[in-house]
Amino acid sequence: MDCSVMDTLTHDVPSPYLDPAGGLDALGYDRAAVHTAAAERLARLGRWEQAYDHLRAAVRLLQGRVGPGDELDRLRREHAEARELSRRDSLTATYNRRYLDECLATLLDQPVDPAVRTLGLSVALVDIDHFKLVNDTYGHLVGDRVLQRLVGVLGSGLPGGAFCARFGGEEFALVLPGQGYAESVEICEAARDRVARHPWAEIADGLQVTVSVGVAHCIGWPTEVERLVGEADVLLYTAKQTGRNAVGFRDTDTGFVRLAGAAAARRAIPQLPAHERTVRRPAVS
């Protein structure tokens, strides 16, 4: 079955698939099998979010199954759930560094998605400004809540196929496959603006949170993960050096680092020599 057809399957169990005893009829079994096959194929294509959706749909269908295969089904479900949990950050429930590395390695090797091959892929590193001050002022419990809330704020406006992952500490990565560089910068600037406008005082009185972002883009395969992420890191550092609460990107015509949105009016944007563009920068809060 073609992926586009499989993607149209719903994730809920319609009542016609349940027999009076609470199990599944033959059509229900077939739906679960289709979801499982879809998940396997999407995973091979590196489309992890959609693969997970199909796995979850299969689990929901199979939870009502009865018969001698129950134990095998349970083990399969537990294996799928454990695999998913291994890719999730325990605090924020977003994807973790392990999943990020796996996904980027797949996408940057030989991407199958025509949109990625045509338009490329962007990786943005997002860092909370002065996060140590948040912890010192409000305590680590509030800091944890900020991290958890940030995931939702960042992810709420991402296009289909994009995802957020925790890169480490207060730093997150946005992966934007099938997006041109200009579009990716716009998406990240919108995410930065959402964070700046979010009512953080709901968590603690007087709390304000902003983020700095560096956006790197590639088109042409294969591409080294370290080089792409390193470029995003350098651009993030530049955004912080220019006053924070900004999105840094590289002008494709001149090679100069620019800032998006209102921050574009800032002056004295640091420009690194070409051989330093992918060097890991020192930590800046």
Burial tier of 68 (Cβ tally within 10 Å: 0-12, 13-18, 19+)? exposed
For the question of residue 171 being annotated catalytic, the response is no
**Residues listed for the chain:** 285
- Residue 166 φ/ψ region, left for φ over 0, alpha for ψ in the -120 to 50 degree band, beta for the rest: beta
- Cα–Cα distance measured from residue 12 to residue 284, given in angstroms and rounded to the nearest whole number: 46
Q: 71, 81, 84, 170: which one is catalytic? A: 170
- Nearest-Å Rg of the Cα atoms of the chain is 22
Q: Give the residue carrying structure tokens 């194929």.
A: 41
Q: Would you name the residues annotated as active-site residues?
A: 170
